[in-house]
């Protein structure tokens, strides 16, 4: 696929990730809850996203790799937020497949750079969402503690 077409595809995927994140943030009623993102609370995940993602950045960048990274970050943090609330993330399968395929070769680098934890093994029949979050070091079965 030509780079211009790739940019169009990833801009559309970024919009879907942004919509999923916005829905996750809007439904976050317990910002003090822990998240699957290690030591961050839901409020800290939202602070990270607010500080790292301008609304226009994904719409205007011509850097394909940056656009893919922004899309991955929004998607995984959407999952973090919804799981911290005991809900399922509003991520669609195609978005998760595209992200998984784009980043599957870079998991060691992402873990070494501290962007994500090392991948978590999942079964062959895991959903696209489970495969994506596991690739990024999250346990797809993670849920909030009983007292959350």
**Residue 34 β-bridge partners:** 41
Tens digit of pLDDT at every position of the chain (148 positions)? 676 799 999 999 999 999 999 999 999 999 999 999 888 999 999 999 998 876 555 566 788 998 999 999 999 999 999 999 999 988 999 999 999 999 999 988 888 888 888 999 999 999 999 999 999 999 999 998 876 5
Residues 6+ apart with CB under 8 A from 19: 90
Q: What is the pLDDT of residue 11?
A: 93
Give Dmax over CA atoms of the chain in angstroms: 50
CA-based nearest residue to 37, from 112, 145, 139 = 139
Q: What is the pLDDT of residue 123?
A: 95
For residue 58, give Cα distances in angstroms to 13, 42, 50: 10, 23, 13
Q: What is the pLDDT of residue 129?
A: 98
Q: What is the pLDDT of residue 110?
A: 84
State the Cα–Cα distance between residues 133 and 137, nearest whole angstrom.
Answer: 6
For 137, half-sphere exposure in the C-beta direction (CA atoms, 13 angstrom radius) is 20
Q: What is the pLDDT of residue 59?
A: 60
State the Cα–Cα distance between residues 114 and 110, nearest whole angstrom.
Answer: 6
Q: What is the pLDDT of residue 42?
A: 98
């Amino acid at each position: 696929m030509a780079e211009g077409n790739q940019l169009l595809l990833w801009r559309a995927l970024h919009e879907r990730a942004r919509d999923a994140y916005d829905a996750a943030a809007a439904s976050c009623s317990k910002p003090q809850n822990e998240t699957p993102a290690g030591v961050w609370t839901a409020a800290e995940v939202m602070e990270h996203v607010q500080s790292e993602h301008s609304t226009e950045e994904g719409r205007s960048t011509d850097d394909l790799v940056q656009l893919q990274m922004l899309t991955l970050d929004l998607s995984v943090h959407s999952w973090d937020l919804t799981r911290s609330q005991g809900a399922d993330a509003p991520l669609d399968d195609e978005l998760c497949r595209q992200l998984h395929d784009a980043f599957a070769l870079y998991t060691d680098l992402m873990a070494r750079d501290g962007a994500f934890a090392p991948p978590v093994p999942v079964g062959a029949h895991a959903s696209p969402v489970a495969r994506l979050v596991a690739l990024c070091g999250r346990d797809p079965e993670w849920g909030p503690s009983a007292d959350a």
